[in-house]
Structure formats: C-alpha cells, structure tokens
Amino acid sequence: MRDYSALFSRSEVKRMLNNDFQSFNLKISRYKTSLGKSSPTYLSYLKSAYKVLEKHYPNEYIYKNEFLNKWLAKELGSCNSVVYNELRLGKVIADLAMFNGISKVFEIKTILDKEVRLSNQILEYRKIFNEIYVIVPVSKVEKYLSFDQNVGIITYSNDAKEFKMIRKSERNLEIDSQTVMQVLHTKEYLKITELYFGNIPNCSDFEKFEVCKNLIGSIPPKILNELFVDTMKKRKINNLFSKRNTTELNQLCLSLNLNDFQKEQLIERLQSPIIL
C-alpha cells in the first residue's frame, strides 16, 4: 500500500513530467500480477492503484482528492473561488483552504490520524480563517463533535463514498493582522496598505515589512478580512480540475499548481504503455 501511495506523491509526478518512469517501473515490477490487461498504460495503472487505496488504505491523498472532486469542485463552479493546497501559516499547514466571499479551511483527519495536534491547529486557523472545518471518517464523528463546538464537522464514508455536513462552522470575521502578514507576499501587503491608506509608505525596503505591519494592524479587522480574502483570490492558482477521465489526479495537479499545458503534458506521458 505504501508503494501505491508513493505513486501519488509530488516527487513521483515531477519525475513523470520529466519523462522519468524509472521509480514508477520499480514499484510496478514488485506487483506484476496487478498489471491486469495485456497493454496497460501508466495512467490505467494509477487509476487501478487509486481504487485499491480508496478501498483498503484511504490515506490523506485519497480524502483530499475525493473532497476536492465531490465538494470543493462544486463550489468552484458556482462562485468566484480559489482553492489552495497546503497553505502555510507559521508553524502549521492548512490541508485545503478556499477563498470566495469568505475564507474557509479544511483539516483532514483520516482513520490513521490522531487528534493530538488539532487544538493547536485550530488556534492558528482561527487567527485568519472565517470558517474552520474538520473532515473525519464517519466512524470517528462522535469523538470530533465534542472537540470544539465552534468548528464545523464534515464526515466521509468509505462505503457510500460521500461527504456529509454534520455541523456548520461558526463564522469569525475578525482576523489577526500579524498572521495576515505572515501569509502575504511583499507586493500583496504593499497593495493592501495602498488600498486602505491611499499610498505606499515612503521608507526603505528594509523597513517596509515593519511599517506595513503596524499600518495593517490599525485596519479594522472586518475590513482587513475583506482585503485579505480579495488578495488571496488574485493569486495565480490553477484550479483546473478534471470532472471525468482523470479525477484521480486532481489533488496532485493542485498540489503542483499545474497549468493547462503541464497537465496535458502529464496526461500524455501517463498514457504511454508500461514497458518494464
């Protein structure tokens, strides 16, 4: 199962993009009986591996990819939204984050995960996200329902292969300016400063961060929230998700922020026949 999981890693896909299937072939050679049809392609093998993982070893990749396909993709289609994969916030990394009119974070806990880090993650998420959701296996829902009453709960059923909203998140619009500064790029916090105060502070490059941090800290939290959400929506994030033939790869494409050309290139290479 670990070999199958590794096929969906960023490093493996980067090798595939470079037309390097040596590592892929090594993993396949260990399980030649699983090749199935007479002329399998790398893509068909990945699809088969995905089904096995989904049924017997639903790891974080499977949860994230299925949630992306069956939940977030619908929101992306109905509004002006942007989805981020593994957005870093200081010492924690958000599994998935969505920005539309508000900001939402989705923390995934598989059946293999423990909840020991969740308290700290929620504390950090609350500083910057308007809504916080934890995605958990339906078998563990009772444990997480009592964890934090302000956090939303979404369950995932392996058998039914569906997600269900159990409890909506309480909404918080007062975000922390210092955490905002940790997330924003230089051009972004300068732009927010200019939008709210009418100009960019006249100071050296060395001083810009501290000067802007103090200025942005004086912006009313609810207004800062609007400016922050709008800014995050303008980043160049490729939310180009397949809805039919290659849905198994959507999370990988998001993780690597692949554009149209790169995605087509990856699929073309994966459609090559397996040669061991």
Domains and CATH numbers, the chain: 2-58+239-270 (no CATH), 82-167 (3.40.1350.10), 177-233 (no CATH)
Phi, psi (deg, nearest 5) at residue 152: -80, 150
Question: What distance in Å separates the CA atoms of residue 84 and residue 194, rounded to the nearest whole number?
Answer: 25
Q: Give the residues across from 87 on adjacent strands.
A: 94
Question: What distance in Å separates the CA atoms of residue 261 and residue 243, rounded to the nearest whole number?
Answer: 17
Query: Would you state the pLDDT for residue 191?
Result: 96
Report the predicted TM-score, pTM, of the whole model to 2 decimal places: 0.89
Query: Would you state the pLDDT for residue 146?
Result: 85
Count of alpha carbons within 13 angstroms of residue 68, beta-carbon side: 28
Query: Would you state the pLDDT for residue 248?
Result: 94
Question: What distance in Å separates the CA atoms of residue 112 and residue 92, rounded to the nearest whole number?
Answer: 19
Q: At a CB cut-off of 8 Å and minimum separation 6, what does 267 contact?
A: 43, 246, 249
The segments of the chain whose pLDDT lies below 70 read 31-39, 76-79, 160
Question: What distance in Å separates the CA atoms of residue 193 and residue 218, rounded to the nearest whole number?
Answer: 10
Query: Would you state the pLDDT for residue 36?
Result: 57
